[in-house]
């Protein structure tokens, strides 16, 4: 399995962040402007994952809620999936969120996103509630949380 390197994205990574987000989320992309804005938002961190000496292929975006944290997005470009990048990003978010003082991590996931739900379950997240028809296409959202 690839040895993944994760790091916090800076302003010079904006094009990579936009590229990876679009590849990972497709029709569910936030859109280029919102993705670029996430790099400047207070208390929001963008992490990138890539194989050593290669372009990044995955990203995670999380928000520090001062004592708690929220995972806003995690995505890996399709050709790089199922090789550990998603879990490496999640572990990096957990590490950074703990260092920021968070004791709980929340997220919301499309009830039909089987890969993401499997990743979160494997990491130890538990479902808290379901928001019916939460997404524009009518899909339900599952709210999950984990003590960290």
Residue with Cβ nearer ligand COA (74 or 102) = 74
Residue with Cβ nearer ligand COA (12 or 93) = 93
- Is residue 29 part of the contact set for ligand COA (CB under 6 A)? no
- In residues, how long is the chain? 148
- Is residue 94 part of the contact set for ligand COA (CB under 6 A)? no
How far is it, in rounded angstroms, from Cα 112 to Cα 128?
Answer: 16
Handedness of CA 79, 39, 26, 109 (dihedral sign): positive
What's the CA dihedral at 34, 109, 28, 70 to 10 degrees? 10
Residue for token pair 């050709």:
79
State which of positions 35-64 bind ligand COA (CB under 6 A): none
Cα–Cα separations (whole angstroms), residue 3 to 48, 49, 52, 77, 134: 14, 10, 7, 16, 36
Interface residue with ligand COA, options 82, 95, 130, 131 (CB under 6 A): 82
Residue with Cβ nearer ligand COA (121 or 133) = 121
Residue with Cβ nearer ligand COA (43 or 115) = 115
Residue with Cβ nearer ligand COA (12 or 136) = 136
CB of 101 to ligand COA, least distance (A): 23
CB of 12 to ligand COA, least distance (A): 23
| Torsion-angle region of 79 (φ positive above 0: left; ψ -120 to 50: alpha; else: beta) | alpha
The CB density around residue 88, as the number of other CB atoms within 10 Å, is 22
Interface residue with ligand COA, options 81, 100, 143, 148 (CB under 6 A): 81
Contact set with ligand COA (CB under 6 A): 24-25, 73-76, 81-87, 109, 113-116, 118-119, 122
């Amino acid at each position: 399995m690839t040895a993944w390197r994760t790091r916090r994205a800076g302003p010079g990574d904006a094009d990579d962040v936009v590229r990876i987000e679009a590849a990972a989320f497709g029709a569910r992309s936030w859109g280029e402007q919102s993705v670029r804005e996430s790099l400047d938002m207070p208390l929001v961190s963008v992490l990138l994952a890539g194989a050593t000496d290669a372009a990044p292929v995955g990203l995670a975006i999380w928000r520090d809620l001062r004592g708690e944290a929220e995972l806003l997005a995690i995505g890996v470009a399709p050709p790089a999936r199922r090789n550990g990048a998603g879990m490496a990003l999640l572990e990096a978010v957990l590490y950074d969120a703990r260092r920021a003082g968070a004791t709980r991590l929340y997220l919301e996931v499309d009830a039909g996103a089987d890969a993401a739900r499997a990743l979160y379950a494997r990491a130890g997240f538990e479902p808290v509630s379901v928001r019916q028809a939460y997404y524009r296409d009518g899909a339900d959202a599952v709210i999950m949380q984990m003590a960290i």
